[in-house]
A and B are shown apart, each in its own frame.
Chain A
Amino acid sequence: MKDNALRVNPYDNVVIAIQHIGKGDAVTIGSETLFNTVQDIEPSHKIAVIAIKSGERVIRYGEPILEAMVDIPKGGWVHVHNAQPIIIPQQNERKGDRR
């Protein structure tokens, strides 16, 4: 079966849809069927590869990019409705730079 998604980095917990994938349809990468979606996924959007619990990080490019706001099921769509930007630590407040 033709691929309908791609994985950017082996450590990622999301994959990217490369075409519209209907609710319940199989996600295929490298000619291998991995799991089924739980909702419609638009092209270029993220799909959870495993269940991501509320508060857990969404990983892409091998790096944390978002934090889940609710429990996201395996095969679920991951976007701004259920995940938020990670609160960035105040690492840039160096000595003398605290305003």
Chain B
Amino acid sequence: MEFNGYKRGDGRYGVRNHVMAISTVACASGVVDAIGRVFPDVTAIHYAYGCGYGPDDFFTSLNTMSGFVSNPNVGAVLVIGLGCELLKSEYIAQAVKGKPVESFDVQQYGSAASTKKGIDIVEKFLAHVEIQKRQPAPVSDLIVGLVCGGSDAFSGVTANPSVGVASDMLVKQGATVIMGETTEMIGAAHILKNRCDDKDLSEKIEKLVLDQEKFVRDYLGEWAGLVIAPGNMDGGLSSITEKSLGCITKSGTTPIRQLVDYAAKPTKAGLTIMNTTGYDIDDMAGMTAGGAQIILFTTGRGTPAGFPAIPVIKVSSNTSTFKSMAGDIDINAGSILDGEKDIASVGGEIFQMVFKVASGETTRAEINKSRPFNCLKQGPSF
């Protein structure tokens, strides 16, 4: 199977052709906003931190932002800094290979002149991407991220198993699938451990989950057993183990091929585990920095969240949420509860939609321009 994508200079294929303007620190976001008002089709993004923070957060944000703007769905990128922040705009720009990139700092020119400069650059970028055409790309160039957010007790019964079917089909075709949300693997280490290709990987996955469990227990003490959002408890889930078992079903049944750090690129086709948190936006940032061009996102209680430059396909676990958030959800796995469809047929529908979306069909979150951005930050600001 193939999809029609935009070939980049680094050999990867984008499923979108976005021109992006991004600030590396919140202080510079006004200029990005001004550019976004002039060009509504430009993906104008803020990063909320970037100023004073520790080395772990610095390198996490550097890797994430560099990976994210390098994502093949971005056709050209303008990086705007303030000038005095730790996360310099030029560091991010230097990481971008094989496509147009420029960077500058607002302290060089002031807001008004920076905006004018930014508009000129973006105009040039738009002209560049406009003439690019989609061309056939092999499935082996497709990376799909798996996310669940606002889960309810039906997520693990309808939507996640359906995505699991689609995952298996994608892997069979040669694609790469990334599952994250390490916190939501707690209690399921013994299952994941037995799904690994080799003993070394099996031990790494088990250690990852058990270490995360220990971290949660040490950090949260007697609250540790209930590391699930209150929304999830209203939905009938009573413990992280219950949620985890329902969560990991979206990875299907194929062997785990690789474990990668947050924001790192998978190097093997098949199922990859990425060490991410359960916060959907941070999770998607890590996966898209790792090269995911599409996200499959299951939700029980519903969420409008997409992600900048990345088509996010929403799968609801129940028809009530599908109806109340009809403009936000792409596929309704609640039809399984209604007796209209089964898991295999919804899984097939999701698989088909991945290919349609890869070749240009828009998702609800894209139409709504719902594209929150954030990335992992765990330490203090200084």
Residues of B near A18 (CB, < 8 A) are: 154, 337
Across the interface, B238 reaches (CB within 8 A) one of A2, A65, A93, A99, namely: A65
State whether A16 touches B339 (Cβ < 8 A).
no
Smallest Cβ-Cβ distance to A63: which chain B residue: B245
Residues of B near A78 (CB, < 8 A) are: 238
State whether A85 touches B152 (Cβ < 8 A).
no
Contact with A along B235-257 (1 / 0, CB 8 A): 11011111001100000000000
State whether B240 touches A61 (Cβ < 8 A).
no
Residues of A near B241 (CB, < 8 A) are: 63-66, 85-86
State whether A85 touches B225 (Cβ < 8 A).
yes
Contact with A along B307-318 (1 / 0, CB 8 A): 000000000001
Looking at the assembled complex, report how far the CB atom of B245 sits from the nearest CB atom of chain A, in whole angstroms: 4
Which B242-298 residues have C-beta < 8 A from chain A?
Answer: 242, 245-246
Binds B, one of A21-29, A32-40, A42-50: A42-50
- Knowing A16-B157, A44-B153 are in contact, say whether A61-B245 is a contact too (CB < 8 A): yes
Distance in angstroms between the alpha carbons of A7 and B225 in the assembled complex: 24
State whether A80 touches B238 (Cβ < 8 A).
yes
Distance in angstroms between the alpha carbons of A65 and B247 in the assembled complex: 13
Is B122's beta carbon under 8 Å from chain A? no
Is B72's beta carbon under 8 Å from chain A? no
State whether B187 touches A88 (Cβ < 8 A).
yes
Is B37's beta carbon under 8 Å from chain A? no
Smallest Cβ-Cβ distance to B216: which chain A residue: A88
Q: Give the size range of A's interface with the partner.
A: 20 to 34
Across the interface, B235 reaches (CB within 8 A) one of A44, A93, A99, namely: A44
Across the interface, A46 reaches (CB within 8 A) one of B210, B236, B318, B339, namely: B236
State whether B218 touches A99 (Cβ < 8 A).
yes
Across the interface, A60 reaches (CB within 8 A) one of B224, B225, B245, namely: B245
State whether A85 touches B236 (Cβ < 8 A).
no
- Knowing A42-B236, A45-B236 are in contact, say whether A60-B337 is a contact too (CB < 8 A): no
Most-contacted residue by chain A among B187, B213, B226, B240 (CB, 10 A): B187
Distance in angstroms between the alpha carbons of A67 and B114 in the assembled complex: 60
Smallest Cβ-Cβ distance to A60: which chain B residue: B242
Contact with B along A83-99 (1 / 0, CB 8 A): 11110100111000001
State whether B236 touches A66 (Cβ < 8 A).
no
Contact with B along A51-79 (1 / 0, CB 8 A): 00000001011011110000000000011
Distance in angstroms between the alpha carbons of A86 and B214 in the assembled complex: 14
State whether A65 touches B156 (Cβ < 8 A).
no
Contact with A along B124-164 (1 / 0, CB 8 A): 00000000000000000000000000001110110000000
Looking at the assembled complex, report how far the CB atom of B195 sits from the nearest CB atom of chain A, in whole angstroms: 14
State whether B238 touches A66 (Cβ < 8 A).
yes
Distance in angstroms between the alpha carbons of A78 and B226 in the assembled complex: 15
State whether B337 touches A65 (Cβ < 8 A).
no
Looking at the assembled complex, report how far the CB atom of B275 sits from the nearest CB atom of chain A, in whole angstroms: 16
Looking at the assembled complex, report how far the CB atom of A6 sits from the nearest CB atom of chain B, in whole angstroms: 7
- Knowing A16-B157, A45-B153, A99-B218 are in contact, say whether A66-B245 is a contact too (CB < 8 A): no
Which A residues form the contact surface with B (CB < 8 A)?
Answer: 2-3, 6, 8, 16, 18, 42-46, 58, 60-61, 63-66, 78-80, 83-86, 88, 91-93, 99
The 7 closest A-B pairs by CB, nearest first: A85-B225, A92-B210, A44-B153, A45-B236, A65-B242, A44-B236, A61-B245
19 more CB-based (< 8 A) A-B contacts, given A16-B236, A46-B236, A58-B238: A44-B154, A46-B238, A60-B245, A61-B245, A65-B238, A65-B239, A65-B241, A66-B241, A66-B242, A78-B238, A79-B238, A83-B238, A84-B225, A85-B224, A85-B239, A86-B239, A86-B241, A92-B211, A99-B218
- What are some 10 contacts across the A-B interface (CB < 8 A)? A8-B156, A16-B157, A16-B236, A42-B236, A44-B154, A44-B300, A61-B246, A84-B225, A86-B241, A93-B214
